[in-house]
Chains A and B, each alone.
Chain A
Amino acid sequence: MPRQSTKLIFKLSLFNMLLAISAVACLGQSTSGTVTMSATVSKFVEINSGGAVTLTGNSGGGVTTDGVANSPLAVSINLGELGPSNTNSFVTALVPLKLRSNASYVMSMSATVTSSGSTANRIGSADIGFGLGTITRSGVGVNTGTDTNATSGDPSLPANGSINGTTGRYEFTAVRSNLSAFSSSTTALSGPYIMNAVPRSNANGLTVPAYFAVKPQFFENGTTTISVTFTVTAP
């Protein structure tokens, strides 16, 4: 057999082998297949209204924009008269909050108090008592955990304030019991994850009342605006 012909046969054979292998590889059958999957769960926290606001001890005023449970927290309250003509011992607003998370959370608060008065007798941030009440974790899908309340609770409790013997002015004296402690974002509440693995449509969560209290006194006359922002994070 001539050498050139042998080469040709060899090359043709190689070429056809490649074709055969390629055909089998492309269209060959298999008895198995795979489906791989992945999913991501990121940290999630939210704060909403826990329900309607309760305003007591007020003279005039009222709840301008009430809280609606499970809706974004956007409450507006007119505390009414805070001078001595209001003879109640305290004007107290109770704002229910609802928190939910799938991770440890921290709720911080910051507050600003602006008054039209110009003297030291105007209402200031220290005159606005603040505290968080009883923390409740209940309902299907809510994790049982222990939370840390960094405030002293209801500011109108006798243990949380008294009249200053020197100045005569009522003062909220307990730890983080008035808004001067929250002039910048400061932790008010923290704890472990709130919700077990349940869908967002589950309406349960952690509820806690936020108390705001003012002792009617001989404040300088004028108007005062208090703005409070709650923020929840998952550090």
Chain B
Amino acid sequence: MRLRYFTFALLISLTLLASSSTTSAQALDISSGGQPTITGAVSGSVTGSSDVRNDLVVTINFGEVSPLNTNSIVKVVVPVAVRSNQPYQVAVSMSGLNNANPQAVQASDVGFGVQNMRVLGGAGKICTQSTHIIRSPFNNDPSSSVSVASDGRVAYSSSFANLSGSTIILSGPQLSKNNSSIRQQSDGYIFDAIFTLTPQFFATGISSATLLFTIAAGPNVPC
């Protein structure tokens, strides 16, 4: 008799578990791709999770970017993991950088590029009929594309100034072999989001910005 009660309870629990997994099951996922790194900073830091199963929540403090920082550039590399059972696209939107003083840090002063799209483990899907495309102009390492504009200010091949609303930076075919609704350590791809800021004679103050990375169904390309 007791076994019957236990079985009954177990069935209820499994039903709940299945139902809860079904309601949260997603074909598209974005998460941390590993530990972010920072170089060239004075009093700067970056925090994020090294576990690819954790959400993408990264905080970057570029630190001092006046000429008090004598390094040539402050560079941050943020690995981002993506998973999907269908074609996908990754978009980025920016908010919060609204300095009225043109000599203060502007969107064009923060270099932003995407590099190193790579398979995350054995369950990452390798498609042969389509490639993963880093959208123009973001396919570069901004620390390698630094130039000086005619007004003397540093410029990059791509920067936050290239973000307009929700801007697609990456798209491609299916990313994951399996169709799990649960994040795993080896079932997708990782790319590096690279951010740079060159110390300059900026107007004094503290600047901040927030980037929102989103993944959604993308152009229907074959795998």
Contacts and interface: CB of A to CB of B under 8 A. Distances in A.
Interface stretch (A25-33, A107-115, A212-220): A25-33
A100 interface: yes
A37 interface: yes
Contacts of B21: 20, 24
B212 interface: yes
A196 B201 contact: yes
Interface string A1-45: 100010011001101110111011011111111111111111110
A44 B74 CA distance: 18
A204 to B, nearest CB: 8
Contact of A197 (B32, B64, B200): B200
Determine the interface band of chain A, counting residues with CB < 8 A from chain B.
Answer: 35 or more
Nearest to A25: B24
B23 to A, nearest CB: 9
Determine the interface band of chain B, counting residues with CB < 8 A from chain A.
Answer: 35 or more
Interface string B8-45: 11101110110011001110111110000000000100
B9 A9 contact: yes
B198 A41 contact: no
B103 interface: yes
B65 interface: yes
B150 A200 contact: no
B57 A33 contact: yes
A36 to B, nearest CB: 5
Interface stretch (B127-135, B167-175, B213-221): B213-221
A37 B201 contact: no
A7 B164 CA distance: 58
Interface string A180-222: 0000000000000111111111101000000000000000000
Contacts of B103: 102, 143, 193, 196-197
B202 A197 contact: yes
B200 A34 contact: no
Interface string B153-186: 1100000000000000000000000000111000
B182 to A, nearest CB: 4
Contact of A35 (B8, B68, B197, B211): B211
B53 A27 contact: yes
Interface in A41-78: 41-44, 46
Interface string B186-218: 000000010101111111111111111111100
Contacts of B154: 198-199
B153 A141 contact: yes
Given A33-B57, A37-B211, A202-B152, A102 B204 contact: yes
Contacts of A17: 13, 16
Contacts of B105: 39, 41, 197
Contacts of B203: 41, 102-103, 193, 197
B153 A197 contact: yes
A38 B61 contact: yes
B208 A31 contact: no
B126 interface: no
A35 B58 contact: yes
A6 to B, nearest CB: 8
B29 A9 contact: no
A37 B209 contact: yes
A8 B5 contact: yes
The 5 A-B pairs with the shortest beta carbon distances in the complex, nearest first, are A33-B56, A16-B13, A141-B152, A29-B29, A195-B201
